[in-house]
A and B are shown apart, each in its own frame.
Chain A
Amino acid sequence: MSSELTRMTAAELSAALSSKEVSATEVTQAHLDRIAAVDGRVHAFLHVAADRALAQAKVIDAERQQGTVRSPLAGVPIAVKDVFTTTGMPTTCGSRILEGWHPPYDATITTRLKQAGAIIVGKTNMDEFAMGSSTENSAYGPSHNPWNLDKIPGGSSGGSAAAVAAYEAPLAIGTDTGGSIRQPAAVCGIVGTKPTYGGSSRYGVVAFASSLDTPGPFGRTVLDAALLHETISGHDPCDSTSIDAPVPPVVAAAREADVSGMRIGVVTELSGEGYQPGVLSRFAEAVELLEQLGAKVTEVSCPHFKYALPAYYLIAPSECSSNLARFDAMRYGLRTGDDGTRDAEEVMALTREAGFGAEVKRRIILGTYALSSGYYDAYYGKAQQVRTLIIRDFDAAFGQVDVLVSPSTPTTAFGIGERADDPMAMYLADLCTIPSDLAGNAAISVPCGLAPEDGLPVGLQVMAPVLADDRLYRVAAAAEAAFTGRWGHPLLAEAKGL
């Protein structure tokens, strides 16, 4: 029974909990057991909150006995990326500089999950301050891909993706700044969504790049992702950039799963040289499939997408250089060199030297340079102009089609250590995902098969206009249903890493 519970989707668990076939305590214990059994090899978690999770499950069970059900996710376990503040649990952002920090407040999304009755089983590993595409930049060691433990699980939300793919939790929360949800979802063979920027609150999300950071859901199915998407979305008065508009009907769209008559555009610029052949062939099959399901497929050019990566690597580091200034040893976190002989400035410098990893330092320096007097216009200013051009590309494209599609990543999961010393190669992992971060529109990654050459999962990316997140789920659910029918089982059933 216990191992069966961890194989169930969130929707299935929700139904089983509703009919009282199982209790939240049993579901939670099953997942804690699974974590205990496999996380030594996966290392998806930085902190497992077993006691808290079981206590919370007990509360949910008691409520259900009295006929109170908070939400469809009441009693369903969830893993939370260690970038969200959580009372009663540490929040490290994968960094030494925040080791042992216990935030005194909950992120809005943490609060919403608690209110929905979801059981937070722990905090997941991540690239330090969400900077990276492999979790290798975590100060606490990398996570491993459940398909092949020698491969990266993607990043920066790699711990969350690995936890879901390894059946340690049916759901997880991540953040997407340049692809940090979609890329790990793609390489771990699961579903991950970057909602419309402002659709999910950033309050309590330790900032990497404020104008890009977008919290979003992971699930093993499109419907699960939609259920979580709906739970965490909606206006938050504590976040000035939060959109005060109704949440798009994502769950309904996932259930309808109908693409007949939809206009789908294949982005010309997101294919070709540099893409793994197996990725391109699986992507081509996915497009064919959508056409067979009744969608009208055309090719659409977005000429400025080729400038997205360089623009991103000016905007994101610029914002990060400012956002990460607060880690100065004065109020919380690491303090190094405070032996009574050094002044505040020296202690700040020594702490930052000791507390930040190489990639974080690289980006702080890049961003500091890009914002410097005399360079601002040429770098940050120019990058913002490029951003506007990319938004216009999207606007023009969405004038012709309802959604855009592309591969989620240029390649499948690469080996741990393979790109660790080559930042540029690492940055290319986000080539397909960055445009939607810069434009702030919604995008999803859904599994579309295994690359023949390495047997690793390939993701199909679907992109929709701002606040049209429901279209993602309509297309992804249709593709998922057709693929699963063709394969005879969910893709993840083929994962053999554990």
Chain B
Amino acid sequence: MTTDTLVPFGAALERYEPVIGLETHVELGTRTKMFCGCITTFGAEPNSQVCPVCLGLPGSLPVMNRTAIEYTIRIGLALNCTIASWCRFARKNYFYPDMPKDFQISQYDEPLCTNGYLDVTVGDQTVRVGIERVHMEEDTGKSLHVGGVTGRIHGAEYSLVDYNRAGIPLVEIVTKPIAGTGAAAPEVARAYVTELRDLVRALGVSDVRMEEGSLRCDVNTSIAPRGSTRWGTRTETKNVNSLRSVERAVLFEIQRQAAVLDAGGRVIQETRHFHEDTGSTTSGRSKEEAQDYRYFPEPDLVPVAPPADWVAQIRAALPEAPSARRARLQAAWELSDLDMAALSNAGALDLVAQTVAAGASPADARKWWLGELARRANDAGLELTALNITPAQVARIAQLVADGVLTDRLAREVIDAVLDGQGDPDQIVAARGLAVVSDEGALNAAIDEAIAANPDAAAKVREGKAAAAGPLVGAVMKATRGKADAARVRELILARLTG
């Protein structure tokens, strides 16, 4: 593998203007495949979810899954697309061992959804990303190339093919070229995929897990000298399997292409592979010797003509878009843009919303999830959602603190116990006797002892140095084994010595 020369990003942006485009494949979460009744569970025993149709056996014929059409229309409507009143499927012909029929049923010049947009936010600017088309196609099988170094078919000793994935419905969402974003291009790419992922998840049509391949992204990048009226030659980077990689792939390609142009070369139109470990891309097959897919209308399927009233029904049942929901919650919770972004980025939006719904104040909910709980999740290497604590439990803990039953320190102990599976907050408080000591008699006795034991500190407080009360408060807390409310103890000590 040759190491590409790169131009520093800032320098590249001084001379060149990037244009990006994204092609995103989303595996639809239908129960059965696109053209047959095989189930679609991820991770099943290889070749256990197959039949004559998805294996492409001679004589078999496809029959369209209506739910897949409905899901695609849902995505199209949520992306503000026009839904075709009549469209057809096409065959994309090419030979590959994981393609059971050696053609893929796809859509070509008659996609189901066209001409929409998705607004994405980067920093304080909103970018409207145009959507060229949303079309349906069937997934291929999955090849495992054994032996060899690259994990690709060339150089492998042998290959194994799992057809469980063959025929799972895919939706391909293609953006229009995104120009004029300058140095923000890598971030825009990432923000777009993030927003799209959240949108598709909210629509309930896919679990959009990049790590399981149910959301896959190809990133197109080109650059042209600033002031040029023509766009540059684009490359298509495949194998971009995380949000971070989307950003890095654009970043790398801009820097690499800038170096090629700086050296007087020309960018080759080609497919490139992204490498997670190095954040770099390497050349794949050249598009200039690209295959001719010989598209033609699929004669085994009848055209799809979704009735207008059905489309209207689907539109009426669309959930609130994530961006609209965020704006609504931000206003309701009175959060700054920065705080809201932090919440989103931590994946805590839904958790906080549910905690607020369970009775906590937005400030408390945010404080616990982004503070203590985020720390625990981070320590355990888990997503926040994977923590063994429910929003309702967090809300209850917040309530106990607000009522003065728990101090923050005791609350942390309760959280530990909940995470440990010891039960609900109230059960834990009761079982451990964790409630704050609020019996004034017991407190006064402890304060008397503390003053007696710390005459110097007491003297300073009497002289008006309130800050000197610390050791006295500490002694009381120690005596009550932390179960007293420190603020209340402090108040009582000051009242006693200065009152």
Which of B51-59, B234-242, B265-273 lies at the binding interface?
B51-59
Residue contact A344 to B97, C-beta cutoff 8 Å = yes
Q: How far is the CB of A303 from chain B (nearest CB, A)?
A: 26
Chain A residues whose CB sits within 8 angstroms of the CB of B292 once the complex forms = 372-373
Chain B residues whose CB sits within 8 angstroms of the CB of A322 once the complex forms = 91, 93, 103, 294, 296
Which B residues between 19 and 76 are near A, CB-CB below 8 angstroms? 52, 55-64
Interface: A275 (CB within 8 A): no
Interface: B371 (CB within 8 A): no
Q: How far is the CB of B98 from chain A (nearest CB, A)?
A: 9
Residue contact B59 to A211, C-beta cutoff 8 Å = no
Residue contact A105 to B296, C-beta cutoff 8 Å = no
Chain B residue nearest to A202 (CB atoms) is B61
Residue contact A371 to B299, C-beta cutoff 8 Å = no
Q: How far is the CB of B328 from chain A (nearest CB, A)?
A: 44
Q: How far is the CB of A175 from chain B (nearest CB, A)?
A: 11
Chain B residues whose CB sits within 8 angstroms of the CB of A101 once the complex forms = 58
- Report the count of interface residues on A (CB-CB < 8 A): 45
Chain B residue nearest to A97 (CB atoms) is B58
Interface: A203 (CB within 8 A): yes
Chain B residues whose CB sits within 8 angstroms of the CB of A241 once the complex forms = 299-302
Interface: B325 (CB within 8 A): no
Interface: B310 (CB within 8 A): no
The contact string, 1 if C-beta is below 8 Å from chain B, for chain A 448-471, is 000000000000000000000000
Most buried by A among B60, B100, B153: B60
Q: How far is the CB of B138 from chain A (nearest CB, A)?
A: 14
- Report the count of interface residues on B (CB-CB < 8 A): 31
**Knowing A326-B100, A371-B296, A380-B296 touch, does A238 contact B61 (C-beta < 8 A)?**
yes
| Cα–Cα distance between A321 and B93 once the two chains are bound (Å) | 9
Q: How far is the CB of B54 from chain A (nearest CB, A)?
A: 12
Interface: B378 (CB within 8 A): no
Interface: A368 (CB within 8 A): yes
Most buried by A among B55, B159, B300, B301: B300
Chain B residues whose CB sits within 8 angstroms of the CB of A238 once the complex forms = 61, 63
Chain B residues whose CB sits within 8 angstroms of the CB of A4 once the complex forms = none
Chain B residue nearest to A368 (CB atoms) is B294
| Cα–Cα distance between A91 and B103 once the two chains are bound (Å) | 22
Q: Which of A84, A203, A332, A348 contacts B61 (CB 8 A)?
A: A203
| A-B pairs under 8 A by CB, number | 103
Chain A residues whose CB sits within 8 angstroms of the CB of B409 once the complex forms = none
**Knowing A210-B299, A211-B299, A240-B302 touch, does A348 contact B59 (C-beta < 8 A)?**
no
Chain A residue nearest to B36 (CB atoms) is A238
Q: Which of A93, A104, A371 contacts B57 (CB 8 A)?
A: A104
Interface: A319 (CB within 8 A): yes
Interface: A422 (CB within 8 A): no
The contact string, 1 if C-beta is below 8 Å from chain A, for chain B 276-299, is 000000000000000010111001
| Cα–Cα distance between A205 and B97 once the two chains are bound (Å) | 23
The contact string, 1 if C-beta is below 8 Å from chain A, for chain B 440-457, is 000000000000000000
Interface: A489 (CB within 8 A): no
Chain A residues whose CB sits within 8 angstroms of the CB of B300 once the complex forms = 207, 210, 240-241
Interface: A204 (CB within 8 A): yes
| Cα–Cα distance between A204 and B300 once the two chains are bound (Å) | 13
Residue contact B100 to A331, C-beta cutoff 8 Å = yes
Q: How far is the CB of B167 from chain A (nearest CB, A)?
A: 14
Residue contact A325 to B101, C-beta cutoff 8 Å = yes
Residue contact B153 to A91, C-beta cutoff 8 Å = no
Chain A residues whose CB sits within 8 angstroms of the CB of B97 once the complex forms = 328, 330, 344
Q: Is the interface of A mostly helix, strand, loop or mixed?
A: loop
Q: Is the interface of B mostly helix, strand, loop or mixed?
A: loop
Residue contact B101 to A326, C-beta cutoff 8 Å = yes
Interface: B195 (CB within 8 A): no
Residue contact A240 to B102, C-beta cutoff 8 Å = no
Which A residues between 50 and 108 are near B, CB-CB below 8 angstroms? 84-85, 91, 93, 98, 101, 103-105, 107
Chain A residue nearest to B156 (CB atoms) is A343
Residue contact B95 to A203, C-beta cutoff 8 Å = no
Chain A residues whose CB sits within 8 angstroms of the CB of B102 once the complex forms = 325-326, 328
| Cα–Cα distance between A386 and B147 once the two chains are bound (Å) | 52
Interface: A239 (CB within 8 A): yes
Residue contact B93 to A325, C-beta cutoff 8 Å = yes
Interface: A237 (CB within 8 A): yes
Interface: B387 (CB within 8 A): no
Interface: B161 (CB within 8 A): yes
Interface: B496 (CB within 8 A): no
Interface: B154 (CB within 8 A): yes
**Knowing A240-B62, A326-B101 touch, does A103 contact B57 (C-beta < 8 A)?**
yes
| Cα–Cα distance between A98 and B58 once the two chains are bound (Å) | 10
Which A residues between 198 and 249 are near B, CB-CB below 8 angstroms? 202-207, 209-211, 237-241
Chain B residue nearest to A369 (CB atoms) is B294
| Cα–Cα distance between A332 and B57 once the two chains are bound (Å) | 8
Chain B residue nearest to A332 (CB atoms) is B57
Interface: A29 (CB within 8 A): no
Chain A residues whose CB sits within 8 angstroms of the CB of B95 once the complex forms = 325, 328, 345, 348
Chain B residues whose CB sits within 8 angstroms of the CB of A93 once the complex forms = 58
Q: How far is the CB of B433 from chain A (nearest CB, A)?
A: 67
**Knowing A368-B294, A371-B296 touch, does A203 contact B91 (C-beta < 8 A)?**
no
Q: How far is the CB of A379 from chain B (nearest CB, A)?
A: 11
Residue contact A206 to B296, C-beta cutoff 8 Å = no
The contact string, 1 if C-beta is below 8 Å from chain B, for chain A 349-389, is 00000000000000000001001110010001000000000
Residue contact B301 to A204, C-beta cutoff 8 Å = no
Which B residues between 92 and 115 are near A, CB-CB below 8 angstroms? 93, 95, 97, 100-103
Chain B residues whose CB sits within 8 angstroms of the CB of A98 once the complex forms = 58
Residue contact B299 to A105, C-beta cutoff 8 Å = no
Q: How far is the CB of A322 from chain B (nearest CB, A)?
A: 5
- Seen from chain B, the residues whose Cβ lies within 8 Å of a Cβ on chain A are 52, 55-64, 91, 93, 95, 97, 100-103, 153-154, 159, 161, 292, 294-296, 299-302
Q: Can you list 21 contacts pairing A with B, beta carbon distance less than 8 Å?
A: A85-B59, A103-B57, A103-B58, A202-B61, A205-B59, A206-B59, A211-B299, A239-B63, A240-B63, A240-B64, A240-B300, A319-B299, A321-B93, A322-B91, A325-B95, A325-B102, A326-B56, A326-B100, A343-B153, A373-B292, A380-B296
- Seen from chain A, the residues whose Cβ lies within 8 Å of a Cβ on chain B are 84-85, 91, 93, 98, 101, 103-105, 107, 202-207, 209-211, 237-241, 318-319, 321-322, 325-328, 330-332, 343-345, 348, 368, 371-373, 376, 380
Q: A211-B299, A325-B101 are in contact. List 20 more A-B contacts (CB 8 A).
A: A91-B58, A104-B57, A105-B52, A207-B58, A207-B59, A210-B299, A239-B61, A239-B63, A240-B300, A241-B300, A241-B302, A318-B296, A325-B102, A326-B56, A328-B95, A328-B102, A343-B154, A344-B153, A373-B292, A380-B296
